[in-house]
Copies of this chain bind each other. A is one copy, B any other.
Amino acid sequence: MRRTELSPATFTDLYELTMAQAYWRSVRTGTATFSLMFRDLPENRGYYVAAGLTDVLDFLEAFEFTDEDIIALDNLSIFDRGFLRFLAELRFEGEVRAVPEGTVCGPESPVLEVTAPVIQAQIVETFLLNQIHVHSLLTTKASRVVHAAQGKTVVDFGARRTQGTDAAEALARASYLAGFAGTSNVQPGARYGIPLFGTMAHSFVESFPTEEEAFRAYAETFPDRTTLLVDTYSTENGLRNAVKIGLGMKKRVQRLNAVRLDSGDLGQLARTARRMLDEAGLGEVQVFASGGLDEFSIDALVSSGAPIDGFGVGTKVGVSADAPALDCAYKLVAYEGRPVMKLSAGKRSLPGAKQVFRKTDADGVLAGDVVGTADEAAPESTRPLLEVVMENGRRVRQEPGLDELRERFREEFARLPERHKALKNPTPYPTSVSTRLKELTERVTAETKEREGLS
């Protein structure tokens, strides 16, 4: 698919490389710490779910400009040959501290910190932001859908509408982590062991002389995993055909899994479907619904008591349609041990390497986070969230598998108060700044202003 095969290291903004050359030329090789955090919560979001760490660590361990990359960079006629020789030898040898994937977090709270020689820490910015952003965006969105579904099955059908194939893979993984039952997308299913789901398309029905013949052909091919899509021509008629097939399967000691509704008034059609199936003695056949669903419409259907057993969600969840981007940043917070910060209007950053301390009440309920300096003692009844996950450019341990992350998320999300999970106008999960970090911020602000001659 690619005209030239460049390595992931070249997925970077040009300025990362020009700054690197300026650092290299100025022989600035000091150690830098960068913090990656989410800032203002979008409308109708009360929390973030941090994710994407596995892909980031894979990237950092493999980070290397190949010979082809160097030739391509040379062809741009921007870079010094000496610098390109330096780049060819460059590897990531730094430290990464991060919260585990699937951690619920609030605004302004670092989810990842990189400490490395400044060029190494800087040059990976674009990729790190891109991946942590897309994984966290989609995990956060999917967690809302799981919450709205109140225990009913939800399946990811988003692959055809995500913004690219990479996003589809992130979506399948993110949504499974957040509690979806599985995905329709074969590639991430096979890669990560995520359960695969699928029904049939309208085209399948249309290609046969009649709907009934199409249903029969499918049921004969997959007697143990048949879901019939009933709305190609008329949902009521489709349901009658499905009942016929379901009864035939039952006679052969097989089982029709489900019927799938994909258009019209899903709540009302689900009631019709349930009644027709039950009256035919097919109480075991489930009703599955899809078509433009998201957490809001699923909430409405579930709250109204619609007899729907499972939901397939696509576009609106796959692009996080109501909040298609999160506000995140990767900020230099220390250089050669000196805490630094921005003073830009409305974009001020907090200086220095940090730790996030999580408070829980006596019942284990999450009670907010305190962002402090990396070296301060944990306040009472808190535990630190940022853990060392990489040293000298190598993982310190294998991350937990996807099923373990999913279970951990389920357990933690259950301890997040409902007010932060509300689909509309949630209370933001609270983050505060420790006294020590406040004092440091004041001191660095004053020193920076003085150095720059600002009043």
Contacts and interface: CB of A to CB of B under 8 A. Distances in A.
A199 B15 CA distance: 6
Contacts of A235: 344-345
B197 A14 contact: yes
B75 A190 contact: yes
Contacts of A8: 1, 165
B163 A167 contact: yes
Contacts of A332: 201-203, 206-207
Interface string A17-48: 11101110110101010100000000000000
Contacts of A410: none
Of A55, A131, A164, the most chain B CB neighbours within 10 A belong to A164
A125 B203 CA distance: 11
Interface stretch (A180-188, A298-306, A375-383): A180-188
A170 B161 contact: no
A164 B235 CA distance: 37
Interface in A185-200: 185-187, 189-192, 196-200
A341 B324 CA distance: 33
Contacts of A189: 14, 76
Nearest to A80: B221
Interface string A48-72: 0000000100110010000000001
Given A159-B130, A167-B164, A191-B3, A15 B198 contact: yes
A18 B200 contact: yes
A222 interface: yes
Interface stretch (A90-98, A249-257, A314-322, A384-392): A314-322
Nearest to A264: B345
Copies per assembly: 2
B162 A340 contact: no
Nearest to A19: B204
Contacts of A26: 217, 221
Interface in A78-114: 78
A452 interface: yes
Contacts of A185: 11-14, 126
A262 interface: yes
A343 interface: yes
Contacts of A366: none
A11 B221 contact: no
Interface in A214-242: 217-218, 220-222, 225, 231-235, 237
Contacts of A3: 191-192
Of A21, A168, A189, A331, the most chain B CB neighbours within 10 A belong to A168
Interface of A: 1-4, 6, 8, 10-19, 21-23, 25-26, 28, 30, 32, 34, 55, 58-59, 62, 72-73, 75-76, 78, 118, 122, 125-127, 129-131, 133-134, 137-138, 157, 159-170, 184-187, 189-192, 196-204, 206-211, 217-218, 220-222, 225, 231-235, 237, 262-264, 315-316, 318-321, 324-325, 328, 330-332, 335, 340-347, 448-449, 451-454
Given A76-B190, A232-B343, A233-B448, 12 more contacts: A10-B187, A10-B190, A11-B165, A14-B184, A126-B159, A130-B160, A130-B162, A162-B163, A166-B166, A203-B331, A207-B335, A235-B345
